[in-house]
Amino acid sequence: MDNEEEENQDDLQDGNNDDRFTKVENDVYLIEGFDEEKQEENKEFGETQAPLSNKNKPKNSKKEVKKFKIILLGEKGVGKSSLIDRYVSNKFSNFENTELRDAVKIKKYEVDKNLTAELSINDTTEVEKLGKFPRDYYNDAHGAIIVFNLTDPQSFEKISYWKEELDYNAPFDVVVCYLGNQADRTADRKVKMDDIKKIVGDNLYYDVSAKTGNNVSLAFEQLTIGIIDKQKDEENNPDKVKRGKEGRKTMDLNDIKNANSGRKKCC
């Protein structure tokens, strides 16, 4: 090939290359397909290059969702349903139409960026009609809230009975929280904090008000965190006792007999 033919061939190649350019304003040219070629080139040398668009950005990992059953215990009229309404819907009403109430209400709590707790909060409206809470109300419960009225000493005296019912019927690893409702009625308060501490011991306790919402969300959320921490402790314990079919942990037969013999009958 002579010099003239070589020059013509070079011009032809240059002309073909012109098709790879796209004209934009201010005499700046963008090379079409350059990004793709650069990525392939980097692969050959074991290199990586951050993508120039948002399409290939890594997606956030999916949140873990843990489901927990929460039950409420306490004398009729202490405000259990009102506390549930306040936490789930942030509403309060002195009048409760029991015929329209749901037995279970769902509330999701964002524990952190990786974990969401889905709480199944069991209302007592239907079971109270039976005069006694059935066994299946307690089954599989992860957390229990025992409620009394700060203006009603009799309701406070009954929380020991409800704790006994809980110990007998619920899973052995259930996490307990006590709530003294109607904390907004400071002038009418009849139950002293010193007496409360003697009963609740190391369990969670909060003065709350379903009417104002004070400490209600805090109580439910701290109970949830307590449940999560309890599960982590059990997972890290190689000698942990697993839950039985009815939601109670399996235990030695002698332990069951001892528990039953020491149980007091109500009324």
Domain-located, residue 153: yes
Q: Which residue in 141, 237, 243, 159 sits closest to 201, CA to CA? A: 159
Number of domains comprising the chain: 1
How far apart CA 142 and CA 140 sit, in angstroms, is 6
Q: Identify which has the larger pLDDT, 239 or 197.
A: 197
What is the CA 182 to chain-centroid distance, rounded?
Answer: 26
- Does residue 29 belong to any structural domain of this protein? no
- Does the pLDDT value for residue 236 go beyond 70? yes
Q: pLDDT band for position 17 (50/70/90)?
A: very low
Specify the pLDDT at position 60. 55
Give me the residue label for tokens 């996490």.
175
The answer on pLDDT for 1 being more than 70 is no
Domain assignment of residue 35, yes or no: no
In a domain, 21, yes or no: no
Using CB atoms within 10 A of its CB, is residue 99 exposed (0-12), middle (13-18) or buried (19+)?
A: exposed
Residue 126 lies in a domain: yes
pLDDT band at 124 (very low <50, low <70, confident <90, very high): confident
Give residue 217's pLDDT. Answer: 97
Q: Which domain holds residue 216?
A: 64-247
Question: Distance between CA 231 and CA 235 in Å, rounded?
Answer: 6
Burial of 78 (0-12, 13-18, 19+ CB in 10 A): buried
List, for residues 193-228, the tens digit of each pLDDT value: 999 999 999 999 999 999 999 999 999 999 999 999
Question: What's 177's domain CATH number?
Answer: 3.40.50.300
**Greater confidence, 203 or 248?**
203
Most confident of 35-44, 45-54, 192-201, 240-249: 192-201
What was the pLDDT predicted at 9? 52
Question: Is the pLDDT at 115 greater than 80, yes or no?
Answer: yes
pLDDT in tens, 170-189: 998 999 999 999 999 999 99
Answer yes or no: is 235 within a domain: yes
The answer as to whether 50 is a domain residue is no
Pick the residue with more confidence: 8 or 235?
Answer: 235
Nearest to 223 by CA among 136, 124, 147, 129: 147
Structure confidence at residue 8 (pLDDT): 52
Return the higher-pLDDT residue of 131 and 113. 113
Using pLDDT thresholds of 50, 70 and 90, give the confidence band for residue 267.
Answer: very low
Does some domain include residue 78?
yes
Give the per-residue pLDDT at 4.
Answer: 55
Q: Is the pLDDT reported for residue 159 higher than 60? A: yes
- Min mean pLDDT across 49-53, 125-129, 141-145, 169-173 is at 49-53
Please compute the mean of the pLDDT values over residues 116-124 and round it to a whole number: 93
